[in-house]
Amino acid sequence: MVAEKTPSSFSLLLVEDDNIVCMVVGRMVARKFPEAKVYTADNGQVGLDLFREHVPRIVVTDINLPFMDGIEMASQIKMINAETKFIVLTGYSDQSHLEKFKEIGFEEYMIKPVDFDKLFAAIEKCVPTAG
């Protein structure tokens, strides 16, 4: 019998300025990954501050954020920890934003509305497994 691999505990930062989207995505991620510690921020500056405090393995971020956009926040996070995994969740589908995030590096680039199956699969690719 083969033991099924399950994700070990990890932390995730969700940065989304739409409070309803942030709440729903945060709850769905917490329900799907009960072993995860989920932090949420409603702007890029708070996201960067929470990252410095908790250093999560994964950052799920929007691009269009108040105070500091997702691209600038991601650039600064990568300088703190180059191993951080990014999942971009945005309303923007234009090539310029995609190219800017490619320079920083990301695991998945998703256009809203949120496809939870795709989001969960992207998160699973970013976390180590135990067992």
CATH of residue 124's domain is 3.40.50.2300
Quick one: pLDDT band at residue 8, thresholds 50, 70, 90? low
pLDDT in tens, 86-102: 999 988 777 887 888 88
> For position 24, what pLDDT does the model report?
96
- 36: domain range? 9-130
The residues facing 13 across adjacent strands are 39, 59
In a domain, 23, yes or no: yes
Question: Which structure tokens are listed for 103?
Answer: 């320079």
CA–CA separation, 128 vs 115, rounded Å?
22
Question: Which structure tokens are listed for 127?
Answer: 């976390």
In a domain, 1, yes or no: no
Q: Kindly report the average pLDDT of the chain as a whole number.
A: 90
User: What's the full length of the chain, in residues?
Assistant: 131
What is the three-class DSSP state of 60? Answer: strand
